[in-house]
Amino acid sequence: MTHSVSSRLRGPASGLAGLAGLAGLALAFALGGALLPACGSAPNSIDVRGYPPDMQARYDLFEKRCTRCHELERPLNAQVGAGGWPKYVRRMARHPAAGIPAEEQREIALFLEYHAERRRDAQRQALEGGAP
Ligand code: HEC
By the 8 A CB rule, do 89 and 98 touch?
no
Ligand 1 midpoint to CA 32 (Å): 23
Task: Using pLDDT thresholds of 50, 70 and 90, give the confidence band for residue 129.
Answer: confident
- Is it the case that residue 2 has pLDDT exceeding 90? no
List the domain boundaries for the chain.
Answer: 2-35, 53-129
Binding site membership of 70 for ligand 1 (Cβ less than 6 Å): yes
Higher pLDDT, 79 or 6: 79
Is the CB of residue 42 below 6 angstroms from any atom belonging to ligand 1? no
Determine the Cα–Cα distance for residues 35 and 23; give it in Å rounded to an integer. 18
pLDDT at position 65 over 70? yes
CATH number of 53-129: 1.20.1300.10, 3.60.150.10, 1.10.1740.10, 1.10.760.10?
1.10.760.10
How do residues 24-41 score in pLDDT, each as one tens digit? 555 455 544 444 444 455
From the CB of residue 28, how many other CB atoms can be counted at a distance below 10 Å? 10
Q: Is the CB of 65 under 6 A from ligand 1?
A: yes
pLDDT at 3 over 60: no
Chain segment 76-89, per-residue pLDDT in tens: 989 899 999 999 99
